[in-house]
Structure formats: C-alpha cells, structure tokens
Structure 1
Amino acid sequence: MENRLKKIHELGQSIWLDFIDRKIMDSGDMQKLITDDGVRGVTSNPAIFEKAFSSSSDYDADIARLAKEGKSNDDIFYGVAVEDIKRAADMFLQVYEDEVKGADGYVSLEVSPRLANDTEGTTKQALELWKAVHKDNVMIKIPGTKEGLPAIQKSIAGGLNINVTLLFGLERYEAVTEAYIKGLEERVAAGKPIEYVSSVASFFLSRIDVLVDPMLKEKGLDHLKGEVAIASAKKAYEIYKRVFSGERWQKLADKGAKPQRLLWASTGSKDPSFSDVKYVEALIGPDTVDTIPMETLVAFRDHGNAANTLDQGLDEATKTLEQIKAAGIDLAKITQQLEEEGIEKFNQPYDKLLAAIEKQKQKAVA
C-alpha cells in the first residue's frame, strides 16, 4: 500500500519531524522515518529538549561531565543539544545530498528564547551555534520578532542557514522575506556565493485558531471556526509566490539563490472536535515544508489524505479574513499577542530545563 506521507513529498511538500531525542536516534526509529516515511528534516525547540532531558537518564552523564568542567547551565544545555543536532544532521546528510543538493535534510537548533527581543545577542549566539554544530545541513532558528529581523538579515549575509520561527501575522512574514532577500543581496555585494544559503519561514497555525475561535462564537461567526489559521496560511503562500518571482528575485536566482520556503508549524490539532490531521491536509502544496509532531505524523500515516490543497480556496481565504475584520476582530493585535505568548511558551520550558540541569549538576558535584 502506498505510504500517505511519501505521497505528500510527491506533491512537492517536505515533511520534517518536530521532535528529537537520543532514544529515537539510538533505536533506529529516526532512520526508519527517513527510509520508510520519507521524512526529510527535523526541527527542535526548548520545549522538545526539556521533554527529552526530563523524561530520560540519557543525558545525565554528559550533564555531569560538563558540570565538572565548570560550565554554566546554558552552556551545558547547548553543549549537550549540539551533540544531538550534529548526530541528527549526519543521519539526514543523505537527504541533503540527494536530488537537488540542499533542498532538504536540515536539522534546526534554536537560539535561547531569552534573546527573542535582543538583536545583538541573537546575532552573536546564532553564529556561535552555527560554528559549534559546523554542518552544512543545519539551520539556526531565530524568532521573527521585530528585533529578530536585523539578526536574520545579518545571519543570512554571513552565510548561515536560518529557520525563522514564531510567525503568526502576514505583515511580519513579508518583513521576514525582505530580511532574507536583503541578506542575500548583501552577500552578493560582498562577492560571496549564495547558492548554499537556505532558509525557511515558520508560520504557526493551530495557536491562531485557539485564540480566535472563541471570538468567532461571540460574533456569530461560528461557521468560520478552525478556518482563520488556514486562511492566513493560504494568504502567506500568495505573498511567497509574489515575493519570490519578478526582477529583483530573478537577479538572485540567476546566482543560485533558493527561495525561502514557507514552513507550516504548530500543525497538531489542539481542538478535539477537529480532525487530528486537519492542518496537514489543508495546506499541502509545492515548495513548502510541514513540520509535524510525532503523534500527527502517525495519524497521517494511518488515515491522512494527501492532495494538493494549498492553491485551492484562495477566494474563500480572502473572504474569511475580510469577514473577521468586518466583525471587529483585529488579527494584527491577535498575532502580536500570540508572538509574545509564544516567546513565553518557550521561556517556561527553557527555565525548567535549566532548573533540571542545575539539579543534575548538584548531584554530580556531590
């Protein structure tokens, strides 16, 4: 029987796994996902690492070793995380090198969420992590905050692969594409190659609906429940197609530049009344990436329907966004709130992670 996940790849979309830990690599399960399911990349974040650190003893020895070297808790975390990312990058090297070199096979590691509103700190740590991992098929994750934009541009100009994370709004997404293009132009002006610089822009979905759906009920727009995030994503794809065509982009493309692909994130359904593969099915289309948690991947493998849906219903998407605007729902304000909450959602597990490291450290020193 045809694998439903592989069918997505045939339609031009890449599935990346939103999960990493040592167990999945040690057990051979990660390799199976690559070979059997056609998984083409991995994303990680502080919450994923916190889960990995606190749910197994796999990291204890490394934490103890680094603690004895007198490292800070942040340095211990990144010391351990970098090893996992390196290993995953080696596993995905075959994907990075197949078909069009550099089209896929990326593994993402995020800068500290505490730096989300610190341009200089983000730029500095992005470069440090890039050098520490030292793999062509790694992406450094930078949040698409206002302060993140100059850091994204500078990192791209420096030749780093960047996964721009925490995007909720269309205006900010367009600003991110501008930072990417300017970074490439800066690189060209400095006489540096751009053909292996790669980037994705991670547009977060289900969290939008979690916030908007109760408002729709109040406004008598219940029929739009679960549709606003998908409508926003379809409009983002319209922006993508406009920005990465035309004369300005063509000049870069002629020098080997690759478009910054849209990546759908937060694609697990958070509302139990929705299908568990709702967000995956609704946004399948060429030249995009979908990063999905393990349970959503398993669900899609079992009963997902792979069809080209991203280009469909664009008029309805426009109408949906017009309707909610007319009803007085301010999407710009909502997406700003989501960005702030998103940073907080990563700060909490990061603090928990550092506390767990501190505990381990005390034990090791004792």
Structure 2
Amino acid sequence: MSHNPLLLLRSLGQSIWLDYIERGMLVSGELAHQIKNDGLAGVTSNPSIFEKAITGHEDYDADIARLARCVGNVTEIYETIVIDDIGHAADLFLPVHERTKGRDGYVSIEVSPHLAYETDKTAKEAVRLWEKLHRPNIMIKVPGTRQGLPAVQQLIAKGINVNVTLLFGLGRYREVLDAWMNGLEERDRAGLPLASVASVASFFLSRIDVLVDKQLDSLAGSAEKETASRLRGAAATAYARLAYQIYKETLKSDRWLRLAGRGAQSQRLLWASTATKDSAYSDVKYVEALIGPETVNTLPPETLNAYRKHGDPALRLEQDLTQAAEVPARLTKLGIELEAVAQKLEEEGVKKFIEPFDKLLASLEQRRQKIAARQPV
C-alpha cells in the first residue's frame, strides 16, 4: 500500500485538522474513517460551513421539523443542531485528545460573528457554549479583533480552550500571543493548573494572496510590472513563515519559559483558509510550503483529498526566510502595505461570517414557519 502523505505530515510534527463538518459524515462513519486512515486530528467549523451543511443536506430536516414544533426561537433551533454536531465530532476525537495528552483532538465552535466587536458579550457567549458542550476537547473560536483579545485573555484564565481566528497580520498576531500569555499568568496567579489549557492562533492565508494579487495585477502596464508579477502569490506564505519565527522567538522568552515550567502548552499556529482560490496555483499551495513542527493545518475536504492524492511532505516552513523577510518591504515599494491589507481582511472576514450566519437563520425561520403552518390548531 502506498504511503498516505497526510500521515507523513504527522511524522513531521504537523497536525491536520478538517475545515468542515456536517451530519452525514458523522453518522456514516466517514469522519471516524478519516481519523483512522488520514491521521485527522481535529475539526474547525464556522458559520459559513454550517450554512452550507444545514441548507445543503436533507440530514437536518427531521431535526428542524422536531425543533420547530417545540422551540419558538430560530436561534435556538440553529444552536441545538450545531451543538449536537460539534458534540458528536468531539466524542469521535476524544481518543485522539487522550492519546496526544491534550495536544490534539479538538473540535472548534465559533461564537456568534455578530459579537466580533463586543468583548463582554463574546466572553459570556464563549463560557455558555463551553459549559453547554461540557467536553475537554472543545475549542471556542474567538475573532482576533482588538475587542476579541481581552475576551481571549479572560477565557484562557478560566481554563477554556480558545481558537483565535481571523488573523491576517503580524502585529495582531503578537497581540494575540500577549493576550494568551496574560490569560495563563492570571490563571497561574490564581493557583490554577495550566497544562490542560490549549489554544491555537488561526492565520488565514489564501485571502491575503487574493487581495494582494489583485493590487499587484492593477499595476500591470506600469514600470513595476515585472516586480509585481514576481510577487504574485508570495505574500501569504511569506507572512506565515515570519509568523512562525515570531512563535519560535516567543518560546525562547523568559516569560514563556516561566509558564512552560508551570506546565503550560504552547499556542500553536494554525494555517487556515488553505483552499487555493487562484487556479494558476497548485491546489496544495498552502500545505506544501508551510509544513513545520508544532503547527496545525486545517484543510477543507477538497484540499485534504488533493493532498492525499499528490502531496509531497517535507519540512519547508523555514525555507527561504531571507526572501520571506524581504516580501513586505518589496510590496511597500509598490504601494502595498501588508498590515493595511490585514486590517481590511479582518473587517471583511467578520462580514463574511455574519452574512452566511444571517442567511442560515433566515432559511431556518422559513422552514420553521412552513412547518408551523402545517400543524393542526
């Protein structure tokens, strides 16, 4: 039997999570099969994924009909369905969580995207979801907005696992590391254990290249055309490699070493938004270039399948670091500021989660009303 490239990634220190969830794969045994045969070590979800799953599959119809009869609130219908799927997936991953001593086996659920700019409401919602799911291998996804960071700190201090999502820039990533360590220090001062608290920082990749490439293409015909064409598709990989260097620097700091001595586990970088959006690039572009120890890559099903077929695993995350460090400055010369790109993408990212979330609730409300109309008075 040929080697599965996905299993080789695990041997290189990278965990592969699936960026997708839907009821069918939970009940058919497909997810259990991928855990066993692909070494799948976790799942990430978001409002966009659930909108596709719930509106695109009949598996949910019976549940929606049952809940519509006894629950008046469409948000409650949505949450009951989502919590059921997330809980089911977390149970499937519990052996992975136990085997890796709490390093892997996580299933992520996102707080409502409408709360992205509200610290207290985000923290409150995260605690409620955590308590409702009541499992050690759940991660609550909190957007890495400026208002999200104090919520991250509060949740880590409470011992809640956090997936800090929608990260696009190095400046914000440094702030995330700070908020996470603040939370651990707060927990330590309270005399609480640190070892069981897990966190990842989700760096979104393809969206960076989509926006930067668009700006580079608009320079076509100018004197910078040649430089611009050489920089196409380079921004996201460069930024990810630079983020990993920040991660490694942090692990050498006295501050981190003190926490590690108290049993804390590091906050791994997670590569997200890894489906290639431009057909000119390889369909595994955001996997091959970013393989390195102590990282996670979350792949949508089509990217996972592509990598299983033709992946070529090797440690590449620290290749071409000099070149990676030059990319931001070369883009600046062309009038493209990566930190400004990051801010724009963060704002767009929040909107891109609010839209499917609202669309899903509207669709559920329609179905609820139809079912209610059929009920005998």
Same structural fold, with TM-score higher than 0.5 when normalized by the shorter chain = yes
CA RMSD of aligned residues (A): 1.0
Contact 1:67 1:76 in 2 (8 A): yes
Provide the rounded CA distance (Å) in 1 between the counterparts of 2:288 and 2:42.
19
1:147-183 C-alpha deviation (Å, 9 max, x unpaired): 1000000011111000000000000011001000000
Residue 251 of structure 2 corresponds to 244
Provide the rounded CA distance (Å) in 1 between the counterparts of 2:119 and 2:79.
20
Residue 335 of structure 2 corresponds to 328
Of residues 249, 274, 277, the one that matches 2:281 is 274
Residue 288 of structure 1 corresponds to 295
Residue 46 of structure 1 corresponds to 47
Deviation at 1:26, TM superposition (A): 1.3
Deviation at 1:79, TM superposition (A): 1.3
Residue 122 of structure 1 corresponds to 122
Could you say what secondary structure the match of 1:163 adopts? Answer: strand
Matched, 1:160 2:160: yes
Residue 74 of structure 2 corresponds to 73
Could you say what secondary structure the match of 1:186 adopts? Answer: helix
Residue 19 of structure 2 corresponds to 18
Equivalences for 1:90-101 in 2 at 5 Å? 90-98=91-99, 100-101=100-101
Provide the rounded CA distance (Å) in 2 between the counterparts of 1:61 and 1:119.
36
Of residues 303, 306, 318, the one that matches 2:313 is 306
Residues 26 and 70 (structure 1 numbering): CA distance in 2 closer, same or farther, change over 3 Å?
Answer: closer
Instruction: Report which stretch shifted further, 267-276 or 68-77.
Output: 68-77
Contact 1:163 1:200 in 2 (8 A): yes
Deviation at 1:114, TM superposition (A): 0.6
Amino acid at match of 1:41: G
Provide the rounded CA distance (Å) in 1 between the counterparts of 2:252 and 2:265.
11
Deviation at 1:304, TM superposition (A): 1.1
Instruction: Report which stretch shifted further, 217-226 or 126-135.
Output: 217-226
Provide the rounded CA distance (Å) in 1 between the counterparts of 2:293 and 2:90.
24
Deviation at 1:68, TM superposition (A): 2.9
Equivalences for 1:113-262 in 2 at 5 Å? 113-217=113-217, 218=219, 219-220=224-225, 221-262=228-269
Amino acid at match of 1:109: I
Amino acid at match of 1:253: A
Deviation at 1:71, TM superposition (A): 4.1
Amino acid at match of 1:231: A
Provide the rounded CA distance (Å) in 1 between the counterparts of 2:289 and 2:266.
22
Deviation at 1:319, TM superposition (A): 1.1
Amino acid at match of 2:160: L
Of residues 349, 354, 359, the one that matches 2:356 is 349
When normalised by structure 1's length, the TM-score is: 0.98
Residue 84 of structure 2 corresponds to 83
Residue 8 of structure 2 corresponds to 7
Provide the rounded CA distance (Å) in 1 between the counterparts of 2:339 and 2:37.
41
Amino acid at match of 1:343: V
Provide the rounded CA distance (Å) in 2 between the counterparts of 1:355 and 1:145.
26
Could you say what secondary structure the match of 2:200 adopts? Answer: strand
Deviation at 1:327, TM superposition (A): 2.0
Provide the rounded CA distance (Å) in 2 between the counterparts of 1:227 and 1:135.
39
Deviation at 1:332, TM superposition (A): 1.5
Residue 108 of structure 2 corresponds to 108
Provide the rounded CA distance (Å) in 2 between the counterparts of 1:252 and 1:172.
22
1:184-206 C-alpha deviation (Å, 9 max, x unpaired): 00000111111100000000000
Residue 56 of structure 2 corresponds to 55
Deviation at 1:244, TM superposition (A): 2.1
Deviation at 1:60, TM superposition (A): 2.2
Provide the rounded CA distance (Å) in 1 between the counterparts of 2:333 and 2:187.
43
Amino acid at match of 2:350: I
Amino acid at match of 1:262: L
The percent of aligned pairs where both chains have the same amino acid is: 54
1:306-344 C-alpha deviation (Å, 9 max, x unpaired): 010001111010011211122221111111110111111
Could you say what secondary structure the match of 2:126 adopts? Answer: helix
Amino acid at match of 1:42: V
Provide the rounded CA distance (Å) in 1 between the counterparts of 2:64 and 2:241.
44
Provide the rounded CA distance (Å) in 2 between the counterparts of 1:293 and 1:114.
24
Amino acid at match of 2:202: S
Contact 1:60 1:360 in 2 (8 A): no
Provide the rounded CA distance (Å) in 1 between the counterparts of 2:261 and 2:325.
33
Could you say what secondary structure the match of 2:316 adopts? Answer: coil
Aligned length, in residue pairs: 365
Contact 1:86 1:133 in 2 (8 A): yes
Contact 2:71 2:77 in 1 (8 A): no
* Unmatched 5+ stretches in structure 2: none
Deviation at 1:55, TM superposition (A): 1.0
Could you say what secondary structure the match of 1:308 adopts? Answer: coil
Deviation at 1:255, TM superposition (A): 1.2
Contact 1:19 1:293 in 2 (8 A): yes
Deviation at 1:106, TM superposition (A): 0.3
Provide the rounded CA distance (Å) in 1 between the counterparts of 2:71 and 2:205.
41
Amino acid at match of 2:178: E
Deviation at 1:364, TM superposition (A): 2.3
Instruction: Report which stretch shifted further, 188-197 or 323-332.
Output: 323-332
Contact 2:328 2:337 in 1 (8 A): no
